[in-house]
Amino acid sequence: MNIIKKAIAAAVVAALVPAFAAAQEAPLKIGVVTFLSGPAAGPFGVPARNAAELTIEMLNGEKVPAPYATKGFGGAALQMQLVDEAGPATTQVTEFRNLVQRDNVDVVIGYISSGNCLAIAPVAEELKKLTVFFDCGTPRIFEDKSYKYVFRTSSTATMDSVGAALYVMDLKKGKVGSIAGVNQNYAWGQDSWSDFEASMKKLAPGVKVATSQMPKLFAGQFNAEISTILGAKADVVHSSFWNGDLEAFILQAGPRGLFKRSTVVLTTGETAMYKLADQIPDGVVLGARGPYGPYAPDNALNKWYTKTFTDRYNVPPNYAAYQMTQAILGTKAAWEKAQAANGGKRPSIDQVIAAFERLSFESPAGKVEMAIGAGHQAITETVYGMSKKVKGKMTVTNVKRYPATAVNPPDGVKAADWIAGGFKK
Amino acid sequence: MEQVLAVLIDGIIYSAWLFVAAIGLTLIYGVMKIVNVTHGSFYALGAYAAASITGALLAKGMPPALSYAVLLGSALLVTLIVAPLIERGILRFMYVKDEVVILLITYALFLILEDAIKLVWGVSPYFIAEPYGLLGSFDLLDLTYPYYNLILVGVAVLCGVGLTWMLNYTRTGKLLVAVIHDTEVSRAMGINVERMYLFTFTFGSLLAAIGGAFTAPTVSVVPGLGVEVIVLSFAVVVIGGLGSLPGAALGAVIVGLVRSASIHYLPQAELFVIYLVMAMVLAFRPRGLFSIAEARKI
């Protein structure tokens, strides 16, 4: 009799365990890669890490407003494994392999440097690991190759450069005689300048390129470059500088009168606008790589995000923080769409990928559409404005918004061809 | 004409910065025969100390004019604490080892100091823009330069002239020259070589820290600041000849002017032009421009 009772009990337990396990979803491990050291850590890496910590904590605590009110990804709690992005691309490839093969993360979200994204994408494909780039800008990733496992939830440098060109043309009422550039000598800087130059030549036929300076990344000293640009007397100066280089450029260019002599466009200027408010005069064109920071829309998700982030870290989120949160929320949206299609059960990575492709989701920065790169590359609207001090505080004025389709190429068309063809939709 | 003048001025400003950054490296090599990678760390320490202390004092109402003295004081403070600690605590036990081993030890110390900087100052950037703009600017033809750039050139000249005077006209300097020529004979003649080593390491590191402190108002003081400096400093002292003071000066001027000319006339070549010059010098003078013929020791 006892044996029968034990057998029944064992059968009941065996029947209940899977149900219990399903209810208590095993946690998902997310590898988060961002700069924790080096010149990019302060303005980009650390705000992005803070955003990842905050977003994951809030998702696990079911404290994010709709449409992200459910726990973690599809009810499964999220565990973050943080990796420093500093160091050469070879180091990053090793770290990526460690995340995937040693630590068995389910998803990797990360990468600020375009060079690192270009190096990681083929490895992600080889290891068949869902990888979401949150910030890097080079359009080459999905233009030169197609990837199944790689997604990018922020727009490319093309959007920043085309948006900057449209903005200065609006600002100058179409009268731009000459342009100059100072950009870092690697994928991001080169792509940003070539797209801006090509856009300006299309929008203002006959425009002259006075000079194009390409200093080394993290060079820090730009006196000679500034002299060259001052001597060139260009109407518009374009720079996609970021990190410590952006801050050093502002510190060195201000006292030399560059901001007064030319209309200077800083496509990532938003990350420095509050810290260097005293050094940035009125009239400098500031970008935020999309509708982030001061350009973010006035919606419930953004109100929650800016308040929660500012309360926690005592500074408002900059665009790197927005982009990190956007990547996590985009992955959540894809995951839960796949889970719903899978009858509520945990989806396979192939199912998540299918759901991610061509996905449209909401972020604190508004609508994000995975519309190009065969559905793996996001497009968003972009926004530019000009610095203006109001009662000693830095604000933006003359803000102009450009819809996503006006500043991003259609799917399957390379940015350079799209610009050369006259921005046809 | 205007462009040639701009090349010269930009080149001299950059040379001055390079010289201050590199002079301590060549001094330490000359006396101690150490290729000191921690030099970059002292540059960064000087910049961090200057930016944080000057920034804090300015926030408390210190007259901005005093900030230049505070920059110098900050470099002194941080060097006098850290340099003797490293020399007495670690390096003095390593002098008997091979030069390559000591190079690796200083590299390890460089990495440790990089992390120590992050522990103390965090990863957020520090700025002190006031000293850069405080003195105003001057116009030269059609270009504007802050007077602060002249301070950097002045600091470089002062460091070079001061070090030359110290080596040639003071008792300590003459003792150092004796140690440079032959450590064993110097020791036999009663010179306290260990004390000379401590002095040299501290003084050489101080020059790096001064370089960092006076650069701080023009840059964003961020982690990794010392990496670029150490690479460029090595290029300068290798061109000039390791251990040679005039060599470091000439190396800095050559690198500064060539880089400036490249930026103005051939920006595409800026990245590699410094190393092209270095390679060409080494092809014809493998020990640098001011290398001294060494007697073979049996």
**Which ipTM value was assigned to this complex?**
0.89
Provide the whole-model pTM.
0.87
> For position B141, what pLDDT does the model report?
78
Per-residue pLDDT tens digits for B247-264: 999 999 999 999 999 999
Interchain contact, B132 vs A231, CB within 8 Å:
no
Nearest chain A CA: its distance from B99 CA (Å) = 27
Residue B199: which residues within 8 A CB-CB, separation 6 or more?
B172, B176
Query: Does residue B203 belong to any structural domain of this protein?
Result: yes
CB A370 within 8 A of CB A376: yes
Per-residue pLDDT tens digits for B46-105: 999 999 999 999 999 999 999 999 999 999 999 999 999 999 999 999 998 998 999 999
Interchain contact, A221 vs B118, CB within 8 Å:
no
Residue A220: which residues within 8 A CB-CB, separation 6 or more?
A244, A245, A248, B219, B220, B225, B228
Question: Is B266 an interface residue toward A (CB < 8 Å)?
Answer: no
Nearest chain A CA: its distance from B271 CA (Å) = 6
Query: Does residue B273 belong to any structural domain of this protein?
Result: no
Query: Does residue B173 belong to any structural domain of this protein?
Result: yes
From the list B127, B143, B223, the residue facing A39 with the nearest CB is B223
From the list A37, A185, A248, the residue facing B220 with the nearest CB is A248
* Residue A76 per-residue DSSP state: B
Nearest chain B CA: its distance from A370 CA (Å) = 33
> For position B142, what pLDDT does the model report?
83
Question: Is B269 an interface residue toward A (CB < 8 Å)?
Answer: no
Interchain contact, A37 vs B225, CB within 8 Å:
no
Q: State the pairing for strand pair A263-266/A285-287.
A: parallel
From the list B2, B14, B220, the residue facing A223 with the nearest CB is B14
Which residues are registered as beta bridge partners of A247?
none
Query: Amino acid letter at A224?
Result: A
Residue written as tokens 């550039």?
A181
- Kindly report the backbone phi and psi dihedral angles of residue A249, in degrees, each rounded to the nearest multiple of 5, phi listed first: -60, -45
Nearest chain B CA: its distance from A36 CA (Å) = 8
> For position A9, what pLDDT does the model report?
53
Half-sphere exposure of B229 (CA within 13 A, CB side): 35
From the list A212, A227, A278, the residue facing B10 with the nearest CB is A227
Per-residue pLDDT tens digits for B21-54: 999 999 999 899 899 999 999 999 999 999 999 9
Range of the domain at B67: 24-225
Query: CA-CA distance, A293 to A269, in Å (whole number)?
Result: 11
Interchain contact, B10 vs A224, CB within 8 Å:
yes
Joined together, the tokens standing for residue A1 give 């009799």
* DSSP H/E element including A4: helix A2-23
Query: CA-CA distance, A94 to A65, in Å (whole number)?
Result: 37
Query: Does residue B10 belong to any structural domain of this protein?
Result: no
Nearest chain A CA: its distance from B8 CA (Å) = 10
Query: Does residue B78 belong to any structural domain of this protein?
Result: yes
* DSSP H/E element including A398: strand A393-402
Interchain contact, A230 vs B143, CB within 8 Å:
yes
Question: Is B236 an interface residue toward A (CB < 8 Å)?
Answer: no
CB B31 within 8 A of CB B91: no
Q: Is the peptide bond prior to A67 cis by the omega test (within 30 degrees of 0)?
A: yes
> For position A283, what pLDDT does the model report?
96
> For position A24, what pLDDT does the model report?
52
Q: What residue in A sits closest to B3 (Cα-Cα)? A: A231
Question: Domains of chain A by range and CATH?
Answer: 22-156+297-379 (3.40.50.2300), 158-295+382-420 (3.40.50.2300)
Query: Does residue B231 belong to any structural domain of this protein?
Result: no
Q: How many domains does chain B have?
A: 1
Query: Does residue B263 belong to any structural domain of this protein?
Result: no
Joined together, the tokens standing for residue B209 give 């820290």
For chain A, list residues whose CB is within 8 angstroms of any CB belonging to chain B. 36-39, 41-43, 45-46, 86, 185, 211-216, 218-221, 223-225, 227-228, 230-231, 233, 243-248, 251-252, 254-257, 275-276, 278-279
- Residues in chain A with CB shorter than 8 Å from the CB of B2 are 231
From the list B6, B137, B264, the residue facing A255 with the nearest CB is B137
Question: Is B263 an interface residue toward A (CB < 8 Å)?
Answer: yes
Query: CA-CA distance, A145 to A135, in Å (whole number)?
Result: 19
- Residues in chain A with CB shorter than 8 Å from the CB of B271 are 185, 214, 216
Chains A, B: CB contacts under 8 A, how many?
134
Nearest chain A CA: its distance from B183 CA (Å) = 39
Question: Is B130 an interface residue toward A (CB < 8 Å)?
Answer: no
- Residues in chain A with CB shorter than 8 Å from the CB of B263 are 213, 215, 224-225, 228
Per-residue pLDDT tens digits for B162-214: 999 999 999 999 999 999 888 899 999 999 999 999 999 999 999 999 999 99
> For position B298, what pLDDT does the model report?
56
- Residues in chain A with CB shorter than 8 Å from the CB of B137 are 255-257
- Residues in chain A with CB shorter than 8 Å from the CB of B267 are 211-214, 228
From the list A212, A219, A251, the residue facing B129 with the nearest CB is A251
> For position B297, what pLDDT does the model report?
56
Q: What residue in A sits closest to B266 (Cα-Cα)? A: A213
Query: CA-CA distance, A331 to A337, in Å (whole number)?
Result: 10
Joined together, the tokens standing for residue A42 give 């302060």
Per-residue pLDDT tens digits for B128-176: 989 998 999 998 878 899 999 999 999 999 999 999 999 999 999 999 9
- Residues in chain B with CB shorter than 8 Å from the CB of A275 are 125, 127
Tens digits of pLDDT across chain A (425 residues): 455 555 555 554 444 444 444 445 789 999 999 998 877 888 889 999 999 999 999 999 999 999 999 999 999 999 999 999 988 899 999 999 999 999 999 999 999 998 999 999 999 999 999 999 999 988 889 998 999 999 999 999 999 999 999 999 999 999 999 999 999 998 889 999 999 999 999 999 999 999 999 998 888 889 999 999 999 999 999 999 988 899 999 999 999 999 999 999 999 999 899 989 999 999 999 999 999 999 999 999 999 999 999 999 998 999 999 999 999 999 999 999 999 999 999 999 999 999 999 999 999 999 999 999 999 999 999 999 999 999 989 999 999 999 999 999 999 999 999 999 999 87
Question: With b meaning 16 or more CB within 10 Å and e meaning fewer, what string describes A357-382?
Answer: eebebbbbbbebbbbbbebbbbbbbb
Query: Does residue B284 belong to any structural domain of this protein?
Result: no
Q: What residue in B sits closest to A271 (Cα-Cα)? A: B125
Question: Is B181 an interface residue toward A (CB < 8 Å)?
Answer: no
Joined together, the tokens standing for residue B294 give 């060494």
CB A275 within 8 A of CB A394: no
